[in-house]
Structure 1
Amino acid sequence: MKRSPYAFPARQRGAVLYVALIFLVLLSLLGIVGMQVAALQERMASNYRAVNTAFQRAEGLARNVEVQVNADSRFIPRAGERDEERRCDDPSPVRGSAWAGFRAADDDPDTAVVATRLNECTPGYSIAQGTQPVNEKPVIWQISAFSTDVAADPTSDSAVETVFMP
């Protein structure tokens, strides 16, 4: 029988096994942390999308009312929605964030629009800049629009308020 020229150590200690297990544990921890970071970023992106969608819907509502008022010189509420035209001396006037808070706490908070003619609050005074022609009376509107990101089971809401003169 021939012996191999390589002399094996008499006692093996298995240090490579321990080193490999440590590396395996470290790589597993890095993988778990990476998955948690990815999940957190996914939730943040989803929230950003919901907020942006709600804002764009509210902005679109406000702009549609502005276009309507510009064309017809009056506000026509949408059928079946929580739209209303209020007078400026209304005892419960529209007040941006408070009104939006009431809408958000509503049972069905999808969309709502409130339009107010502000020039009726200042009889005999001009709100317009500069000198107005004698035969024209400026009409100044305050449009408040509220919307959620989706109609069913909303996760975010937004309110937009504009003041403009057609």
Structure 2
Amino acid sequence: MLYVALIMLILLTLIGIVAMQVAGQQERMASNYQATNMAFQNAEGAAREQESGLKSDVLAQLLPPTNVPPTDCTTAHDAASWSSASPYVRRLDLCFSWGGMDYPSDEAERTDQIYQVTAFAKDRAVFSSSESVVDTVFIP
């Protein structure tokens, strides 16, 4: 009878250890999901904030600032030298051939401005575990 009780205690101990390991693994997975989601939300917020500024500038008939010259359509964004201090902004409408897109081919007749806004963010400022980049095309 004593042997049966000891074997039952050992089995219950093993089941308890496995349950604790599963719970710990699930906690780490939830933490990683939260960090990923926070990084994405921070990047999305930075992109939307930049888009709001672009819209305000366009409505005020100001030429919004961009990170590259408006006529530079061939230089790609260098992600290795990313500066997370401000989103990357490029004006795209000056790089398109408008003839086949139901847009006026004469630049003076076009009123739409199209911008590429790319924002980078981390989940936390210190000891971050996740990073995210959001790239949008914005028409004010």
- The unaligned stretches of length 5 or more in structure 1 are 1-15, 77-83
How much is the aligned-residue C-alpha RMSD, in angstroms? 2.7
Q: Counterpart of 2:53?
A: 68
Relative to the length of structure 2, the TM-score reads 0.81
Higher helix share: 2
Q: Hey, what's the Cα distance between the residues in 2 that align with 1:147 and 1:60?
A: 9
Q: Hey, what's the Cα distance between the residues in 2 that align with 1:129 and 1:66?
A: 24
Q: What is the identity percentage for the equivalent residue pairs of Structure 1 and Structure 2?
A: 41
1:96-141: per-residue Cα shift (whole Å, max 9, x none)?
Answer: xx72xx36xx7xx76541000012223xx43895456x75421110
Q: Counterpart of 2:21?
A: 36
Compute the displacement of 1:21 (Å). 0.2
1:153 matches 2:127? yes
Structure with the larger RCO, 1 or 2 (CA within 8 Å, 6+ apart):
2
Matches for 1:17-96 after TM superposition, within 5 Å? 17-73=2-58, 74-75=63-64, 85-87=67-69, 89=72, 92-94=75-77
Runs of 4+ aligned residues of structure 1 deviating over 3 Å after TM superposition are 109-112, 127-132
Q: Hey, what's the Cα distance between the residues in 2 that align with 1:111 and 1:39?
A: 36
Q: Hey, what's the Cα distance between the residues in 1 that align with 2:132 and 2:4?
A: 55
1:3-60: per-residue Cα shift (whole Å, max 9, x none)?
Answer: xxxxxxxxxxxxx100000000000000000000000000000000000000000000
Q: Which amino acid aligns with 2:98?
A: S
In the alignment of these two chains, the number of paired residues is 133
Q: Hey, what's the Cα distance between the residues in 2 that align with 1:115 and 1:165?
A: 12
Q: Hey, what's the Cα distance between the residues in 2 that align with 1:128 and 1:141?
A: 20
Q: Hey, what's the Cα distance between the residues in 2 that align with 1:17 and 1:114?
A: 72
Q: Hey, what's the Cα distance between the residues in 2 that align with 1:110 and 1:131?
A: 34
Relative to the length of structure 1, the TM-score reads 0.69
